[in-house]
Amino acid sequence: MQLKASIAALVAAQVATAQELMRFGCSQLTIDRIDPLVNPGSLPSPHMHQLIGGNSLNVSMAPVDYDPPTKSTCTSCTYSEDFSNYWTANVYFKARNGSYKLVPQMTNLGLGVKGGMTIYYIRGYQPSAKVTAFPPGFRMLVGDPNNREASKVPSGLCFRCEVNKQQNPFGGAPCTGSDTKSFPASTCGGGWRVTVTFPSCWDGVNVDTPDHKSHIAYPASGSFESGGPCPASHPVKIPQVMYEIMYDTTPFNNKAEWPQDGSQPFYWSHGDNTGYGIHGDYLFGWKGDALQRAMDGKCAGDRCAPLKRQSDADAIACTKQQSAKEDIGTNTWLATIPGQEL
């Protein structure tokens, strides 16, 4: 009874706030071993990512000087003024014989194409609050690929083991219920939904810091969702950015291929089979004041009058060639994950 009531409350809360969150699909720009935030100039970077957004994506993108809206000729996101770049690590499956294969992604329901991500910009539950869009050059990181402890995974980063492939939008808020900080422990009939949520307060000064994190913070008390105030050190309320990535783990649901000792067969592309190294990178690139207009206009969903929207086909057509040329194991079994000694 109690559980049913809380699920009903959760669904009601989602419906009530649906007007305050932008949610749009971005198709895959590339899968590549580059990281212009943490490893600028490194080709290849230590580990592989799926990257989406503006096609000015490059090995180095110096803050402010390198302007994505000016340098890009297309974006893989549906809002055509969004040339930001968003990226996360990839997932590999390790078979009993020690070979690895890239885990494919599900069809993104927004765009009807495999891969990519669903991106959210959330205003929060206070309609009157001022939410300040990021300034040019802004970038940030959440999570840590080197982390191997559940307690150090920030709240808002988690895995959901989906029962079926319906991708039910009323499946409850992310990182609630039986969602985990670790990779799901067993097979999932509908693959995984991975959620990566960034902090929502900014120091108002720095577009970046050496750790790519110190300029951002979580609310001082409560949560972003409950309208918790930003701390004095980071007083500016920024949009809460959230990524949703659907991995299709179902081709690997044959338990006969899972390790006999019960260990986890899935690995992040940074060689982590706990899942606790979950992380996401963000590099702001909205054109002019488009994101501020979206926040002030309380944009929701993937169509909103203050913003230009391109066709899904145009978003899908925006791709970029891999810079670090290598076999990433899409159709072949690899002896190791690119860049990893395992």
Ligand X SMILES: *[C@@H]1O[C@H](CO)[C@@H](O)[C@H](O)[C@H]1NC(C)=O
Residues near ligand X, by CB under 6 A: 56, 58-59, 71, 95, 97, 99, 257, 333
In the bound complex, what is the minimum distance in angstroms from residue 290's beta carbon to ligand X?
21
Give 73 or 128: the residue with its C-beta nearer to ligand X: 73
Q: Which 3-state string (H, E, C) describes the chain?
A: CHHHHHHHHHHHHHHHHHHHEEEEEECCCEEECCCCCCCCCCCCCCCCEEEEEECCCCCCCCCCCCCHHHHCCCECECECCECCEEEEECEEEECCCCCEEECCECEECCCCEECCEEEEEECCCCCCCCCCCCCCCCEEEEECCCCCCHHHCCCCEEEEECCCCCCCCCCCCCCCCCCECCCCCCCCCCCEEEEEECCCEECCCCCCCCCCCCCEECCCCCCCCCCCCCCCCCCEECCEEEEEEEECCHHHCCHHHCCCCCCCCEEECCCCCCCCCCEEEEECCECCCHHHHHHHCCCCECCCCCCCECCHHHHHHCCCCCCCCCCCCCCCCECCCCCCCC
Identify which of 241, 23, 244, 22 has the alpha carbon closest to the alpha carbon of residue 115.
Answer: 244
In the bound complex, what is the minimum distance in angstroms from residue 67's beta carbon to ligand X?
10
In the bound complex, what is the minimum distance in angstroms from residue 27's beta carbon to ligand X?
19
Give 170 or 261: the residue with its C-beta nearer to ligand X: 261
In the bound complex, what is the minimum distance in angstroms from residue 52's beta carbon to ligand X?
16
- Residue 72 and residue 285 in contact, taking contact as beta carbons nearer than 8 Å: yes
In the bound complex, what is the minimum distance in angstroms from residue 260's beta carbon to ligand X?
14
Give 136 or 231: the residue with its C-beta nearer to ligand X: 136
In the bound complex, what is the minimum distance in angstroms from residue 320's beta carbon to ligand X?
9
Identify which of 155, 47, 132, 142 has the alpha carbon closest to the alpha carbon of residue 91.
Answer: 47
Give 85 or 195: the residue with its C-beta nearer to ligand X: 85
In the bound complex, what is the minimum distance in angstroms from residue 101's beta carbon to ligand X?
8
Give 1 or 256: the residue with its C-beta nearer to ligand X: 256
Give 203 or 257: the residue with its C-beta nearer to ligand X: 257
- Residue 53 and residue 76 in contact, taking contact as beta carbons nearer than 8 Å: yes
Give 55 or 197: the residue with its C-beta nearer to ligand X: 55
Give 58 or 322: the residue with its C-beta nearer to ligand X: 58
In the bound complex, what is the minimum distance in angstroms from residue 43's beta carbon to ligand X?
8
> What's phi and psi for 255, nearest 5 deg?
-60, -20
Question: Rg of the chain's alpha carbons, rounded to an integer?
Answer: 19
Q: Which two tokens stand for residue 262?
A: 């019960």
Give 56 or 240: the residue with its C-beta nearer to ligand X: 56
In the bound complex, what is the minimum distance in angstroms from residue 318's beta carbon to ligand X?
13
